[in-house]
Amino acid sequence: MWFARLIQAGVDARVIARRIIAHASEDVGLANPAAMVQAVTAAQAVELIGMPEARLSLAQAIIFVCESHKSNSVVVAIDKAIADARDRVNEPVPLHLRDTSYRGAEKLGNGRGYKYAHDFPGHYVVQQYVPDDMVGRVYYRPSDQGQEQKIRENRKSRRRYGETSKPPGEEADR
């Protein structure tokens, strides 16, 4: 009904599309990532075919967002990360994650000890991705809604791969 009132009032459809996209990320997030696809596609329809035809695409996106599972875990995660980026000591990137594409990088130790996740069972390997003072910080905590439930399950199943896991064909140090 509000959408219909906005259209009747002559509100620019791009403003409506922008709000749908915002709701798709802020209110639905990873509980249903397809909501973002629907929202952006509706915005593209506004640009490509214009109104009044794009009203159908916008209505479809609105209904999709409304009927989706909801989660604000992405909002919470990025807000925590931004606060840490602002408030915490600026530590360097761990050596094993540093760029190795230039001459002299090896001399600096860049890339040494890096573990390529796709060489490990489940395409997952435990290695430190953050500076020492950030170890243990958790930003993203998936909810129990929609697709995020699967993300939670994936996290649990990955816990069986330990720090000492080795690529297939090599004996694990357990």
Q: Are residues 8 and 58 in the same domain?
A: yes
Domain-embedded: residue 26? yes
Q: Are residues 58 and 95 in the same domain?
A: no
Q: 3-class SS at 173?
A: coil
For residues 65 and 22, the answer to whether their CB atoms sit within 8 Å is no
Q: How many CB atoms lie within 10 A of CB 70?
A: 17
Domain-embedded: residue 117? yes
Q: Are residues 21 and 62 in the same domain?
A: yes
Neighbouring residues of 35: CB distance < 8 A, sequence distance ≥ 6 = 24, 28, 61, 64, 65, 68
Domain boundaries, position 9: 2-67
The Cα 25–Cα 23 span in angstroms is: 5
Q: Which of 130, 128, 117, 94 is nearest to 166 (CA)?
A: 117
Give yes or no for a cis peptide into 167 (omega within 30° of 0). no
Domain-embedded: residue 7? yes
Quick one: how far is CA 93 from the chain centroid? 21
Model pLDDT, residue 124 = 87
Mind listing the pLDDT tens digit of every residue in the chain (174 residues)?
899 999 999 999 999 999 999 999 999 999 999 999 999 999 999 999 999 999 999 999 999 999 999 999 999 999 999 999 898 878 889 999 999 999 999 999 999 999 999 998 888 888 999 888 888 899 999 999 999 999 999 888 887 655 444 544 444 433
The Cα 57–Cα 66 span in angstroms is: 14
The Cα 42–Cα 117 span in angstroms is: 36
Domain count of the chain?
2
> Any idea what the CATH number is for the domain that residue 112 is in?
1.10.3710
Name the amino acid, one letter, at 1.
Answer: M
> Any idea what the CATH number is for the domain that residue 49 is in?
1.20.272.10
Model pLDDT, residue 1 = 87
Q: Which of 130, 69, 124 is nearest to 96 (CA)?
A: 130
The Cα 129–Cα 28 span in angstroms is: 27
Domain-embedded: residue 146? yes
The last residue of one of the domains, among 32, 67, 102, is 67
Domain-embedded: residue 108? yes
Domain-embedded: residue 167? no
Model pLDDT, residue 157 = 81
Half-sphere exposure of 45 toward its Cβ, with a 13 Å CA cutoff? 19
